[in-house]
């Protein structure tokens, strides 16, 4: 039996009584931080390789550590590894097992290292991997939305401001708005990754170490390098072991993604209600009611909207966790893990489910099936109901020489007149229009049509079909190179 195992604590000699069971449970993190096991082994192997290269440990010890870690890896993967609460966390569990397997070589692994720089390194390594997976999922969601945009580029729906019908827009344009949001989210994640990918190891407990470590070598082994291949090493030991700003930044970026998902969810929920009936989502994303047989509830978008609160809550948790901490490491930081893990899990599941719900499941031939169903007639009808082309009539009058403010007034009278009679602007006869202003001619009807209005907005970023198609190609090109 090794020292750690026998005494069950890494620091036993100094203590006159054992920890109570309650305190053990309160302070232990192994039941959640065991999730970091792979990063922990990877970090330890890089550290051991460097210790040997610097002749701080022998090649024989290095070989033993490697073999021992290989055994531990397979034990954990097969579920045979016995995680012990008494050994507090993932780091002490793995180290104790290593020493049990390879003896003194295992005890030498911790030379020039502390759990403080070890855990900071593990969390960064783990998070980096998850962020790469999130990048892939963000790209997939964008591709999915692009496929919806492409399929429905010519479908017209009312664009809203204040949830009041404003001007007609293309449904493709509407989807592309979300593609823009998720593209920025991906950029933001990419930027955060640069700061996550820094090496704390070698800072030891807080002040650095007396051993001649080669930290840059460890950074390179772990892929902690910048675009030019330069090692990214934390430059201040106190900062390296204690700040979790990288985790906060990540959670902030994750919160923004969830906020974007939540906005989309809110729209899906509104669009699915019978009063709108703009879209349907596939049955597998909805649930029925146990009492009202006619119901199909948008549970997935509703839950995503709800889970946004949860992720934003984690951001608040992490940022508050940091605020009162003096330098350097404090045990408070152990509380960074659960919110971070839950943020990653929630975000990944949400991105995956939205990619499939919107564009459908990716088929072998690259097409998609089973995404949202769009009711183009309902959308057009809604746009026609709301005088969505009133601005176009005003612009028409401006082109005939009226100052915009006067044109606005004339149109307001025309809209009032039509709405009192339950008519659309296009239903008004020409002489009625001319009673509002003499310059109105029969070309006004083209201007008042939804499609005419849409295609008139042919400036960069506008909703005209030509613009929407250009944007779709631009995004497709961008996403094909990621």
Question: Toward ligand ARG, which CB reaches closer, 95 or 150?
Answer: 95
CA-based nearest residue to 97, from 89, 88, 106? 106
CB 319 within 8 A of CB 227: no
Of residues 23-52, those binding ligand ARG (CB under 6 A): 29, 33
User: Whole-number minimum distance, CB 454 to ligand ARG, in Å?
Assistant: 56
Active site residue: 12, 58, 273, 289, which one?
Answer: 289
Tell which one of 142, 308, 334, 453 touches ligand ARG (CB under 6 A).
334
Asked if 115 touches ligand ARG (CB under 6 A), the answer is yes
Q: Which DSSP category does 231 fall into?
A: B
CA 413 to chain centre: 48
**C-alpha to C-alpha distance for 262 and 268, rounded to whole angstroms:** 10
Only segment of 157-165, 207-215, 305-313, 326-334 that touches ligand ARG (CB under 6 A): 326-334
User: By C-beta, is 179 or 241 nearer to ligand ARG?
Assistant: 241
Give catalytic status of residue 162 as yes or no: yes
Nearest alpha carbon to residue 250 among 343, 331, 169: 343
Cα separation of 219 and 198, whole Å? Answer: 8
116 binds ligand ARG (CB under 6 A): yes
Cβ 12 to ligand ARG shortest distance, Å: 14
CB of 350 to ligand ARG, least distance (A): 26
Measure the CA dihedral 100/106/108/113, to 10°: -110
Contact between 204 and 328 under an 8 Å Cβ cutoff? The reply is: no
Q: Tell me the angle at which helices 115-151 and 171-196 cross, rounded to the nearest 10 degrees.
A: 160
Least distance from C-beta 249 to ligand ARG, angstroms?
A: 19
Q: Shortest approach of ligand ARG to residue 121 CB, angstroms?
A: 11
Please tell me whether residue 331 binds ligand ARG under the rule CB under 6 A.
yes
How many other CB atoms are found less than 10 A from the CB of residue 284? 11
DSSP symbol at 360: E
Quick one: 251 or 333, whose CB is closer to ligand ARG? 333
**144 contacts ligand ARG (rule: CB under 6 A):** no
Q: Binding to ligand ARG by residue 93, rule CB under 6 A?
A: no
289 is catalytic: yes
**Residue of 333, 350, 467, 471 that binds ligand ARG (CB under 6 A):** 333
- Reference 232, options 213, 212, 251, 217; nearest CA is 217
10 contacts: CB under 8 Å, gap ≥ 6:
4, 88, 92
**Under the rule (CB under 6 A), what is the footprint of ligand ARG?**
29, 33, 89, 115-116, 119, 329, 331, 333-334
Please give the positions annotated as active site. 162, 289
């Amino acid at each position: 039996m090794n020292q750690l195992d026998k005494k069950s604590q890494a620091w036993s000699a100094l203590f006159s009584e054992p920890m109570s069971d309650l305190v053990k449970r309160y302070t232990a993190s192994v039941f959640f931080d065991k999730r970091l096991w792979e990063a922990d082994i990877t970090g330890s192997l890089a550290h051991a390789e460097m210790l040997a290269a610097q002749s701080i440990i022998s090649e024989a010890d290095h070989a033993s550590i490697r073999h021992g870690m290989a055994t531990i890896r397979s034990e954990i993967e097969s579920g045979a590894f016995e995680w012990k609460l008494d050994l507090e966390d993932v780091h002490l569990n793995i180290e104790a097992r290593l020493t049990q397997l390879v003896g003194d070589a295992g005890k030498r692994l911790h030379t020039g290292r502390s759990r403080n720089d070890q855990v900071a390194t593990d969390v960064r390594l783990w998070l980096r991997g998850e962020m790469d997976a999130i990048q892939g999922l963000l790209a997939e969601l964008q591709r999915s939305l692009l496929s919806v945009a492409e399929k429905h580029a010519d479908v017209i729906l009312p664009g809203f401001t204040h949830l009041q019908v404003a001007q007609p827009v293309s449904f493709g344009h509407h989807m592309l708005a979300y593609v823009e949001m998720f593209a920025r989210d991906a950029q933001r994640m990419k930027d955060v990754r640069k700061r996550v990918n820094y090496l704390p190891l070698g800072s030891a407990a807080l002040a650095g170490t007396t051993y001649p470590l080669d930290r840059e070598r460890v950074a390179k082994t772990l892929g902690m390098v910048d675009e030019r291949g330069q090692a990214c090493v934390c430059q201040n030991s106190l900062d390296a072991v204690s700040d979790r700003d990288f985790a906060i930044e990540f959670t902030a970026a994750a919160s923004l993604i969830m906020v974007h998902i939540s906005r989309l969810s809110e729209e899906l929920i509104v669009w699915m209600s019978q009063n709108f009936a703009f879209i349907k989502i596939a049955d597998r994303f909805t649930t029925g009611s146990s009492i009202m047989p006619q119901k199909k509830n948008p549970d997935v978008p509703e839950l995503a909207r709800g889970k946004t609160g949860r992720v934003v809550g984690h951001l608040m948790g992490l940022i508050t966790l940091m605020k009162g901490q003096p330098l350097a490491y404090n045990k408070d930081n152990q509380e960074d893990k659960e919110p971070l893990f839950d943020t990653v899990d929630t975000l990944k599941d949400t991105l995956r489910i939205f990619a499939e719900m919107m564009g459908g499941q990716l088929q072998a031939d690259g097409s998609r099936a089973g995404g949202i169903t769009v009711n183009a007639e309902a959308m057009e009808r809604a746009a026609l109901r709301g005088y969505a082309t009133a601005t176009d009539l005003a612009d028409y009058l401006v082109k005939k020489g009226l100052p915009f403010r006067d044109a606005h007034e004339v149109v307001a009278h025309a809209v009032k007149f039509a709405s009192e009679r339950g008519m659309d602007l296009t239903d008004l006869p020409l002489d009625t229009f001319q009673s509002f202003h003499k310059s109105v001619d029969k070309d006004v009807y083209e201007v008042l049509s939804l499609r005419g209005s849409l295609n008139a907005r042919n400036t960069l970023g506008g909703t005209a079909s030509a613009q929407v198609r250009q944007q779709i190609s631009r995004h497709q090109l961008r996403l094909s190179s990621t």
